[in-house]
């Protein structure tokens, strides 16, 4: 019977060969892209590299030849024909004699490739480049490629492929090679795919995988009660059923029975994982790779045909790995969604609206309004900006969503029955930017895709620019009134001046006329010249990012106890160096209010507890939520737990008030018309607090209460509450305190500026010379009138008008567009025609001198070294009037070691002061200039013998740079004064102490040794019992 079966197989293979030759002229529709660079290397008219790649990719599976399996008793018998005993490959073995390669012909049938006789393969060769024996798996791993010899002697090679081929033992049915079928089945089932759009109409039970979460699919399959049910579920999403059907009906997988009918040899079915038997489909460690399990065996017809018991016939379990990337509903869906930017057609031209109501809003008004909004939670802020974006267009934002790829071809009814699309705006990233010569709002957000459980599956970032503010005026009618009611209060203080060394008037005029306002401002602020202090505190708040100080640091830098009058008045006054100005206090309040309310209440709890306004033993309540938050906080008392007792007199105890006002740094109440920097609890909010505490059912959330506080607070007028009790309620609990805080925020009428404008905004100062107005005179000949000294003096003055402009800046810091301008102020400065402006390089050296803490680097010398130092300095300097290097004398001093180690690019030098000869004074026409005197510093404690190291001197105040000498004033070197032990400009006695001298050094940059600082470093040298020097 077996012999007859072999003959039938031979006849069937001949038929297949004839069919293959007849159909080989049909062109394949498969196209494979090949890099142009590789193809161009071949000097042929066609593309041979394309051909070999195409042929290699058409190989679907590989198996051992049937006769190879039948002629070898086991795996090791076969291995001995391929490998030597030491594991090396045998030479002279043609590996293609051992393996069959399967490919799909144009009729979709799988057949063994006949490389010699098949028309499609005649010009190609198969090259098995290497083989490995896998003893543990009883398999062979082969490496192969397809090649083609070209006319020009070159060879076109395909990519290298590999395959693992298992050896299966011989049985009575194995001549049909079940292992070959298993390899073929595994290759085909690995290609399972979701249904094409056109295939859904063929069956109403088919489901769209792209709209189903993979977890849901996994649960469905593995919850099936049988393998058949699991197969049907998979077939709802993938072409499993058709793949198996096509595999089994292929001619290569059929046999001819005794009645000459073609029947299937094999059967294949889904099974559970063979070991644990707990899943038909399981996730592998690899991302998006899932494994499904099958059983391949001979069909009952084939077993019956061979007179074999089906139960005893061979079968193979095998697993197929499926790549579900971009297959199911996950974050990859974001790749299929785009947001088309708004076009001009989407934004209505509202010029006609402007003409009708003559209302418009400027960039500054809108920006100031948005930056002054305070939200008790991130969600509320997000909703505000989302609504703002919704208002800028005539069409909904979601209508601008464009679908692409697979889901774009789905029916809307199918698509939106499974997913929901929405969008969110990120208020932290949304900002004003300068673009196309105007300031626009740049919204940043995400298009969000939800599943039917309202869970976010995928997000797609988007950026939307809006520069037409007119649309906001149309869609938000109350926007203009709200924006114009939000004031940016900027009451600039007058600049303070401390003139030292005025510069020539021509220099001031040149800088103003050239628009070099930055350099002019630096000269005005430089204490060497004018020492002007401009009031820019609130402008800095516009552009500087502010972070709320961590509460533990605030606790460390805060202190509080009742003073006697504060305790009587019921005022809590916290002292803290953190808030050095009212602007910083304001920014703290507003920035804190921007945080989520849960952060705010915990922050104040920790701070007040640290100040002992809350019992230190009080713990933070557990199980807080949005409905019971205020009710639980009402159980935390605000009271004096500091332990301080002022022992109030009886008369004061009778009039003592409960705590009602919270203030910082003695700012009990702001001046009228300004933001109240201290805060209190108005009586009109008492009903809200009662509702919070009496909320027995816990049905009202935080958002409702905040809305009520906002609404009531906006009605509060800024009246001094000390006028009467009708304006204030006691602050007895943490709930009272939190409500008072938000009342303070929402009752503000002058602008909190809770956020900076952004890193791309800045402010710049502008200057203009104000010329005095010309006045008429009774003199006919003006030139003949003598000019009084006062008039000459006035002509040396310059009156500067200055103001600030705010706007977006470029990368060089230049303002691109002015959105806000301050009211101008004026400053009057003196000038000196003989004044000198120090070069920038020397200014940097002076800044170094100002910031170097030389007072912390004392030098200690014994008596002999102490006296020798001054003698040697006198010797080296002698009559020299220039700078002198005395490094050899000080190189072992610790102060010099420190200086040279940390600042190797700098050097030190000494120079005698030039002393002017007396000049006979005539009646002056200008004020005489005088040499600046050294600033006297407090003497450090003298060393007390026999202690070797006296206490170091405190850091002395830096001496002012010497004024440039008046031209033509004769000078003479300063003589060495042995009677006083001083050398003017180089060293001097410390006032009142003869064991300390002060040594002066100028600083220079070694790269430019001809430029020296005009300011000097001061080092203290102590005379002690023993010298402390470096070796």
Whole-angstrom Cα distance, residue 375 to residue 755?
A: 12
- Residue 214: DSSP 8-state: H
pLDDT at 1000 over 60: yes
Whole-angstrom Cα distance, residue 393 to residue 396?
A: 7
CA 267 distance to own-chain centroid: 58
Whole-angstrom Cα distance, residue 901 to residue 431?
A: 46
Name 553's Cβ contacts closer than 8 Å, sequence gap at least 6: none
Whole-angstrom Cα distance, residue 2 to residue 305?
A: 11
Mean pLDDT for 459-476 is: 80
**Rounded to two decimals, what is the model's pTM?**
0.61
Give the tens place of pLDDT for each residue, 799-845.
999 999 999 998 888 999 898 899 999 999 999 999 988 888 998 99
To the nearest 10 degrees (0 to 180), the angle between helices 734-746 and 702-713 is 50
pLDDT at 940 over 80: no
CB of 620 within 8 A of CB of 599?
A: no
Q: Rounded to the nearest 5 degrees, what angle is found at the Cα of 517, between the Cα atoms of 515 and 523?
A: 135
Mean pLDDT for 251-256 is: 80
pLDDT value of position 343? 65
Mean pLDDT for 145-162 is: 89
Q: Rounded to the nearest 5 degrees, what angle is found at the Cα of 91, between the Cα atoms of 90 and 95?
A: 80
Give the tens place of pLDDT for each residue, 598-612.
999 999 999 999 999
From 322, 311, 327, 246, select the one nearest 280 (Cα to Cα): 322
Structure tokens at 430: 């949304």
Name 169's Cβ contacts closer than 8 Å, sequence gap at least 6: 74, 314
Q: Please state, in angstroms and as integers, the Cα–Cα distance from residue 797 to each residue in 565, 768, 774, 790, 793, following that order.
A: 50, 14, 16, 11, 7
Structure tokens at 845: 């050296």
Give the tens place of pLDDT for each residue, 615-649.
999 999 988 888 889 999 999 999 999 888 889 89
Mean pLDDT for 571-591 is: 86
pLDDT value of position 751? 63
Structure tokens at 270: 């889904």
Mean pLDDT for 130-149 is: 89
Give the tens place of pLDDT for each residue, 504-560.
999 999 999 999 999 999 999 988 899 999 999 888 888 888 889 999 999 999 999
**Percentage of residues in the chain having pLDDT higher than 90:** 32
Mean pLDDT for 891-909 is: 94
495 or 405, which is more confident: 495
972 or 261, which is more confident: 261
pLDDT at 361 over 60: yes
Per-residue confidence at 329, pLDDT binned at 50, 70, 90?
confident
Of the chain, the end-to-end C-alpha distance in Å amounts to 108
Give the tens place of pLDDT for each residue, 197-209.
888 877 788 888 8
Domain ranges of the chain: 2-170, 187-323, 331-485, 505-541+758-772+788-830, 549-746, 840-1023
The listed range with the strongest mean pLDDT (96-110, 370-384, 713-727) is 370-384
Mean pLDDT for 852-869 is: 92
Handedness of CA 490, 496, 501, 502 (dihedral sign): positive
Q: Please state, in angstroms and as integers, the Cα–Cα distance from residue 813 to each residue in 513, 760, 817, following that order.
A: 20, 9, 12
Structure tokens at 528: 């060497």
CB of 180 within 8 A of CB of 63?
A: yes
pLDDT value of position 730? 93
pLDDT at 703 over 80: yes
Phi-psi region of 247 (alpha: psi -120 to 50; beta: other; left: phi over 0): alpha
From 548, 472, 1008, 948, select the one nearest 754 (Cα to Cα): 548
3-state secondary structure of 690: helix
CB of 532 within 8 A of CB of 496?
A: yes
Mean pLDDT for 653-677 is: 73
Name 411's Cβ contacts closer than 8 Å, sequence gap at least 6: none
pLDDT value of position 527? 83
pLDDT at 923 over 70: no
pLDDT at 493 over 50: yes
Give φ, ψ of 422 to 5 degrees: -145, 180
pLDDT value of position 791? 55
Strand partners, 735: none
Per-residue confidence at 666, pLDDT binned at 50, 70, 90?
confident
pLDDT value of position 593? 87
Whole-angstrom Cα distance, residue 428 to residue 371?
A: 11
Name 740's Cβ contacts closer than 8 Å, sequence gap at least 6: 662, 679, 680, 681, 731
Whole-angstrom Cα distance, residue 744 to residue 709?
A: 10
pLDDT value of position 61? 78
Whole-angstrom Cα distance, residue 447 to residue 462?
A: 7
Whole-angstrom Cα distance, residue 309 to residue 201?
A: 43
Name 575's Cβ contacts closer than 8 Å, sequence gap at least 6: 558, 559, 560, 664, 665, 666
Query: Which pairs count as long-range contacts for 375-384, CB under 8 Å and 24+ apart, including other chains?
Result: 375/594, 376/593, 376/596, 376/597, 376/600, 376/702, 376/703, 376/706, 376/742, 377/596, 377/597, 377/702, 377/703, 378/427, 378/596, 380/703, 380/706, 381/427, 381/594, 382/424, 382/425, 382/426, 382/427, 384/427
**Percentage of residues in the chain having pLDDT higher than 70:** 80
252 or 425, which is more confident: 425
Give the tens place of pLDDT for each residue, 263-313.
888 889 999 988 778 899 999 899 999 999 998 888 888 877 777 666 656
Q: What is the mean pLDDT of the chain?
A: 79
pLDDT at 929 over 80: no
pLDDT at 77 over 60: yes
Whole-angstrom Cα distance, residue 628 to residue 297?
A: 66
497 or 399, which is more confident: 497
Per-position b or e across 69-88, b if 16+ CB within 10 A of its CB: beebeebeebbeeebeeeee
To the nearest 10 degrees (0 to 180), the angle between helices 517-525 and 505-514 is 140
Whole-angstrom Cα distance, residue 652 to residue 632?
A: 34
pLDDT value of position 884? 95
pLDDT value of position 762? 92
pLDDT value of position 312? 59
CB of 974 within 8 A of CB of 952?
A: no
DSSP 70-100: HT-SSHHHHHHHHB-TTSPBPTT--GGGTEE
pLDDT value of position 68? 83
pLDDT value of position 768? 96
pLDDT at 419 over 50: yes
Q: Please state, in angstroms and as integers, the Cα–Cα distance from residue 884 to each residue in 873, 880, 913, 987, 1012, following that order.
A: 9, 8, 12, 13, 12
Give the tens place of pLDDT for each residue, 236-252.
999 999 999 988 888 87
pLDDT value of position 110? 61
Per-residue confidence at 676, pLDDT binned at 50, 70, 90?
low
pLDDT value of position 786? 53
Mean pLDDT for 919-940 is: 36
Q: Please state, in angstroms and as integers, the Cα–Cα distance from residue 853 to each residue in 282, 848, 900, following that order.
A: 69, 10, 15
| Low-confidence winner among 252-266, 354-368, 503-517, 920-934 (lowest mean pLDDT) | 920-934
């Amino acid at each position: 019977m077996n012999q007859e079966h072999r003959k039938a197989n031979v006849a069937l293979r001949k038929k297949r060969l004839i069919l293959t030759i007849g159909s080989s002229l049909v062109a394949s529709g498969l196209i494979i892209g090949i890099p142009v660079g590789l193809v161009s290397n071949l000097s042929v008219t066609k593309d041979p590299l394309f051909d070999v790649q195409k042929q290699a990719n058409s190989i679907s599976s590989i198996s051992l030849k049937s006769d190879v399996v039948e002629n070898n008793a086991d795996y090791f018998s076969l291995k001995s024909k391929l490998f030597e005993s030491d594991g090396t490959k045998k030479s002279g073995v043609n590996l293609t004699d051992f393996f069959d390669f399967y490919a799909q012909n144009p009729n979709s049938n799988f057949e063994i490739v006949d490389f010699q006789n098949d028309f499609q393969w005649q010009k190609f060769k198969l090259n098995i480049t290497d083989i490995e024996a896998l003893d543990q798996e009883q398999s062979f791993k082969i490496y192969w490629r397809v090649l083609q010899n070209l006319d020009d002697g070159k060879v076109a090679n395909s990519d290298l492929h590999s395959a693992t081929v298992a050896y299966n033992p011989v049985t009575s049915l194995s001549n049909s090679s079940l292992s070959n079928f298993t390899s073929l089945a595994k290759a085909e089932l690995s290609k399972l795919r979701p249904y094409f759009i056109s295939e859904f109409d063929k069956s109403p039970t088919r489901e769209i995988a792209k709209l189903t979460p993979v977890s849901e699919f996994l649960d469905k399959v593995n919850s099936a009660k049988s393998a058949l049910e699991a197969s049907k579920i998979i077939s709802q999403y993938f072409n499993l059923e058709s793949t198996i059907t096509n595999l089994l009906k292929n001619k290569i997988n059929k046999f001819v029975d005794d009645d000459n009918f073609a029947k299937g040899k094999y059967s294949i079915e889904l099974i559970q994982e063979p070991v644990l038997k707990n899943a038909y489909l399981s996730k592998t460690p690899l991302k998006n790779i899932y494994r499904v399990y099958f059983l391949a065996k001979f069909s009952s017809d084939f077993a019956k045909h061979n007179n074999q018991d089906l139960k005893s016939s061979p079968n193979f379990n095998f697993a197929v790995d499926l790549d579900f990337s971009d297959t199911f509903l996950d974050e990859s869906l974001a790749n299929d969604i785009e947001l088309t930017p708004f076009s001009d057609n989407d934004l209505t031209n509202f010029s006609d609206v402007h003409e009708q109501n003559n209302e418009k809003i400027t960039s500054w008004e809108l920006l100031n309004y948005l930056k002054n909004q305070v939200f008790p939670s991130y969600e509320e802020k997000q909703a505000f900006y989302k609504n703002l974006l919704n208002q800028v267009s005539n069409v909904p934002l979601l209508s601008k969503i464009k679908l692409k790829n697979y889901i774009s071809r789905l029916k809307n009814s199918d698509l939106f029955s499974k997913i929901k699309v929405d969008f969110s705006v990120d208020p932290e990233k949304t900002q004003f930017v300068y673009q196309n010569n105007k300031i626009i709002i740049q919204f940043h957000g995400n298009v969000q895709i939800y599943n039917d459980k309202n869970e976010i599956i995928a997000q797609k970032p988007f950026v939307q620019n809006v520069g037409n503010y007119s649309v906001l005026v149309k869609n938000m009618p109350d926007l203009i009134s709200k924006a114009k009611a939000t004031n940016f209060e900027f009451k600039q203080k007058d600049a303070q001046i401390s003139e030292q060394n005025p510069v020539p008037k021509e220099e001031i005029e040149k800088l103003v006329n050239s628009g070099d306002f930055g350099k002019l401002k630096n000269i005005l602020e430089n204490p060497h010249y004018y020492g002007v202090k401009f009031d820019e505190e609130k402008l800095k708040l516009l552009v500087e990012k502010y972070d709320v100080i961590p509460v533990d640091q605030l606790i460390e830098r805060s202190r509080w106890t009742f003073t006697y009058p504060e305790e009587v008045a019921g005022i809590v006054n916290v002292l803290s160096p953190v808030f050095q100005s009212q602007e910083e206090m304001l920014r703290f309040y507003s920035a804190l209010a921007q945080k989520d309310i849960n952060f705010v209440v915990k922050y104040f709890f920790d701070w007040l507890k640290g100040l002992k306004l809350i019992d230190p033993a009080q713990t933070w309540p557990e199980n807080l939520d949005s409905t019971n938050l205020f009710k639980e906080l009402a159980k935390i008392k605000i009271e004096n737990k500091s332990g301080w007792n002022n022992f109030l007199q009886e008369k004061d105890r009778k009039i003592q008030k409960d705590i009602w006002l919270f203030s910082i740094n003695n700012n009990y109440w702001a001046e009228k018309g300004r933001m109240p920097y201290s805060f209190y609890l108005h009586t009109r909010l008492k009903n809200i607090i009662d509702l919070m505490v009496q909320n027995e059912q816990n049905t009202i959330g935080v958002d409702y209460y905040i809305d009520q506080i906002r609404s009531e607070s906006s009605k509060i007028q800024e009246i001094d509450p000390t006028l009467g009790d009708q304006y204030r309620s006691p602050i007895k609990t943490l709930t009272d305190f939190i409500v008072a805080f938000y009342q303070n925020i929402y009752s503000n009428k002058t602008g909190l500026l809770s956020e900076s404008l952004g890193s791309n905004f800045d402010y710049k100062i502008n200057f203009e010379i104000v010329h005095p107005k010309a006045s008429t005179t009774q003199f006919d000949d003006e030139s003949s009138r003598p000019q009084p000294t006062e008039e000459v003096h006035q002509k040396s003055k310059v009156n500067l008008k200055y103001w600030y402009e705010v706007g977006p800046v470029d990368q060089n810091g230049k303002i691109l567009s002015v959105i806000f301008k301050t009211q101008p102020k004026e400053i009057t400065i003196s000038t000196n025609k003989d004044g000198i402006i120090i070069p920038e390089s020397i200014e940097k050296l002076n800044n170094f001198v100002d910031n170097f803490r030389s007072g912390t680097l004392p030098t200690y010398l014994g008596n002999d070294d102490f006296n020798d130092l001054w003698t040697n300095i006198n010797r080296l300097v002698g009559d020299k009037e220039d700078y002198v290097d005395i490094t050899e004398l000080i190189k072992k001093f610790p102060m010099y070691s420190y200086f040279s180690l940390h600042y190797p690019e700098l050097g030190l030098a000494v120079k005698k002061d030039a002393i002017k000869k007396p000049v006979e004074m005539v009646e002056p026409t200008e004020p005489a200039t005088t040499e600046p005197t050294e600033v006297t510093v407090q003497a450090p404690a003298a060393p007390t013998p026999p202690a070797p190291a006296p206490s170091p001197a405190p850091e002395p105040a830096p001496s002012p740079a010497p004024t440039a000498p008046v031209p033509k004033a004769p000078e003479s070197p300063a003589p060495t004064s042995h009677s006083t032990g001083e050398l003017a400009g180089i060293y001097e006695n410390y006032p009142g102490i003869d064991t300390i001298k002060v040594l002066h050094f100028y600083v220079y940059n070694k790269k430019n040794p001809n430029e020296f600082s005009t300011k000097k470093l001061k080092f203290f040298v102590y005379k002690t019992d023993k010298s402390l020097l470096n070796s």
